[in-house]
Amino acid sequence: MKNTIAILLLIISPIMVFAQKNGVEINGWTNVNTFKCTNINFRNSPTIYSFTGNQLPNLQLQVEDFDCKNRIMTADFRKTLNSEKYPVLTIKFISFSKVGANRFSAAVEVKMMTVSKKYNIEFSEYKNSLVGNKRLKFSDFNIVPPKKMGGMVYVKDELDLLFSLAIKD
């Protein structure tokens, strides 16, 4: 029962967070707390995306545009992703198909720093947006999660990448 509720929350929460707008959010955990870093410029983007034809979205996100609502956490996040040397995080759609009523599947390539990984991601249509999420790992991208206070506080390897893309009616 607890697993069913947790799965439903993972599916529904990104839909409710990003309804009717663009958004990219990276959620993670430490052994003490959670964090949420949102790309503020992408969230404010008026772009409407199309998933028909050969022109699938290729999102170029500035790492410096991520805000974790905590100055120290934001600085640590940007440092971990080495934003000075690698200022762009890329999410490129490779393929996209409808799999059911208001449900879609996409092959997506995520590039952080010098490493690219391909993932299959399920999307739902909700209020003129396509909303999806995928659990990634820092280690997928050869990134060592940060530690503080001599390792007493550490970031867990897993991250949730949540995003929403505004689409046409």
Tell me, what DSSP letter sits at residue 168? Answer: -
CA distance 128 to 147: 40
**Does domain 2-166 match CATH 2.40.128.110?**
yes
For 2-51, what is each residue's pLDDT tens digit? Answer: 444 444 444 444 444 444 589 999 999 988 889 999 998 888 788 888 88
For 64-98, what is each residue's pLDDT tens digit? Answer: 999 999 898 899 999 999 999 999 999 999 999 99
**Boundaries of every domain in the chain:** 2-166
pLDDT at residue 50, as a whole number: 83
Nearest by Cα to 107 from 94, 117, 124, 90: 94
Tell me, what DSSP letter sits at residue 49? Answer: B
pLDDT at residue 121, as a whole number: 95
For 102-161, what is each residue's pLDDT tens digit? Answer: 899 999 999 999 999 999 999 999 888 999 999 999 999 999 988 888 878 889 999 999
pTM of full prediction above 0.85? no
* DSSP output for 77-108: HHHHTTTTT--EEEEEEEEEEEEETTEEEEEE
Copy the structure tokens of residue 32.
Answer: 């003490």
Average pLDDT (53-58) is 83
Query: In a 3-state reduction of DSSP, which class is residue 127?
Result: coil
Nearest by Cα to 158 from 149, 169, 145: 145
pLDDT at residue 1, as a whole number: 52
> What's the first-to-final CA gap in the chain, in angstroms?
36
